[in-house]
Amino acid sequence: MTIASAVDAVLLAQIVEVSADAIFSEDLLGHITSWNAAAERLYGCAAADMLGRSASDLLPEETASQLRSVHELALTGQRVDRFDTWHLRPDGRHVAVSLTVSPLRAADGSIAGLATSVEDVTERVRLTAELEDVHRVLEKQYKALGRSNRDLEQFAYVASHDLSEPLRVMTGFVQLLEKRYAGVLGEQGQRYVFHVVDGAARMRILIDDLLEYSRFLRSEQTTSRVDTGAVARRVVLSREAVGVELSELPDVWSDDASVTAVLDNLISNALKFHRPDVPARVVVSGALLGAQVRLCVDDDGIGIDPEYRERVFGMFSRLHVREAYPGTGIGLAIVQQIAERCDGQAWVEPSELGGSRFCIMLPAPPDPPAVSNDSSPRPSANEDAA
Ligand SMILES: Nc1ncnc2c1ncn2[C@@H]1O[C@H](COP(=O)(O)OP(=O)(O)OP(=O)(O)O)[C@@H](O)[C@H]1O
Ligand SMILES: [Mg+2]
């Protein structure tokens, strides 16, 4: 050995010694010939105790044959990179490791042994196992949730559908009573019958709305580009509404029925909940925000107290008596469902017009939409149609 190569060897030995990865070498008989400081830490065993011992002592029974094939491959001159397995520490504990096994060559080029670099992957293995556990639990919960949602939809449909028939019979007979026995019933009796008929009519509306809601939940949607502006104009026309300003609205990636339901419910609410003696002013606007479209309906109506902003989206949840404003309280529940179906959201905030501003986020079409995100108001749909 020349002086230069002797110096190189000393430097190399130092590099191996300070390596953060455990490194050990073995001769052709499998006896350990070097064992660095990181190996001492990882296996909890000093070099003095390991030198000369068989490297196969590190192989746990269950992985021994696999690891022997890795060694055999390395002994043919090939390097085996990042082989994940388990090693056995001399104290009997298993340690998760990633091994790189390389052949060591003598000066004449012949293979003289193997060098193994060992990365401690205990933490990675632990995290992977934890993630798998979490994933399993989530999958289970997701399935259970899907089942309970389907059961609820089924329940709502069956309940509302099956309630319809007896209600129809009851209403029919009470109406007969009212017609044929008015004289016998007297004034008070007629008032009672009126309340029964009125209650039955309300129940009819509730059941119809519940049916519509559950049908909506059960319907399969196929998504495509929807011309939001055209839907909005249709809604305004069908409601023969005045005072509704439509901005240019970006297309959305949804289905016609959902977008119609959203705009119809929000516009009809904005028109309905106006201030007494003041005709409603409503502005429908939209903006493209990255991969999503925000649609908003502003009004100058009676507004909503901050404490009720979430509650109004609940099923049959209303803030007013029927006599003041008609309705059953299903409209915003449908809007909420549509938002949730596409991982979007619906919310209400105060409007600059003085009333409420209801907004919903829907997905934008995958390709660039035809409309820019300029949402300055245009003339109302009624004027358009004129
Ligand atoms: N634009 C609005 N301004 C003020 N209050 C509103 C507005 N929109 C909804 N609300 C309140 O939220 C409640 C729930 O609205 P939702 O649309 O679900 O029901 P509804 O309009 O009363 O009945 P339905 O839509 O079933 O005919 C309303 O009863 C009302 O109290
Ligand atoms: Mg409504």
pLDDT, tens digit, 9 for 90 and up, residues 269-279: 999 999 988 88
Residue 383, pLDDT score? 40
CB 283 within 8 A of CB 352: no
Q: 36 pLDDT band (50/70/90 cuts)?
A: very high
Mean pLDDT of the chain: 87
**Ligand with minimal distance to 271 CA:** 1
Listed in sequence order, the residues at least 6 apart from 102 whose beta carbon sits closer than 8 Å to its beta carbon are 74, 79, 80, 114, 115, 116, 117
CATH 1.10.287.130 residue ranges in the chain?
A: 127-218
Strands 292-299, 244-246: parallel, antiparallel or unpaired by DSSP? unpaired
The yes-or-no verdict on residue 5 having pLDDT over 70 is no
% of the chain exceeding 90 in pLDDT: 55
Any idea which fold 224-385 has? Answer: Heat Shock Protein 90 (3.30.565)
From the CB of 332, is ligand 1 less than 6 Å away? Answer: yes
CATH 3.30.565.10 residue ranges in the chain?
A: 224-385
Measuring from atom 1 of ligand 1, which residue has the nearest CA?
Answer: 270
Q: 18 pLDDT band (50/70/90 cuts)?
A: confident
pTM over 0.95: no
The yes-or-no verdict on residue 234 having pLDDT over 90 is yes
Phi first, then psi: what are they for 90, rounded to 5°? -55, -25
Measuring from atom 27 of ligand 1, which residue has the nearest CA?
Answer: 327
Segment 185-208 shows an average pLDDT of 87
Residue among 332, 347, 348 to mutate when testing ligand 1 (max atoms within 8 A of CB): 332
**Domain 127-218, CATH:** 1.10.287.130
At residue 139's C-alpha, the angle toward residues 136 and 141, to 5°, is: 110
% of the chain exceeding 70 in pLDDT: 93
Beta bridge partners of 80: 101
The yes-or-no verdict on residue 191 having pLDDT over 50 is yes
CATH of 3-120, one of 3.40.640.10, 3.90.1300.10, 3.30.450.20, 3.40.50.10320: 3.30.450.20
* Ligand 2 center–CA 223 separation, angstroms: 25
Beta bridge partners of 349: 357
The yes-or-no verdict on residue 378 having pLDDT over 70 is no
Q: 154 pLDDT band (50/70/90 cuts)?
A: confident
From the CB of 36, is ligand 1 less than 6 Å away? Answer: no
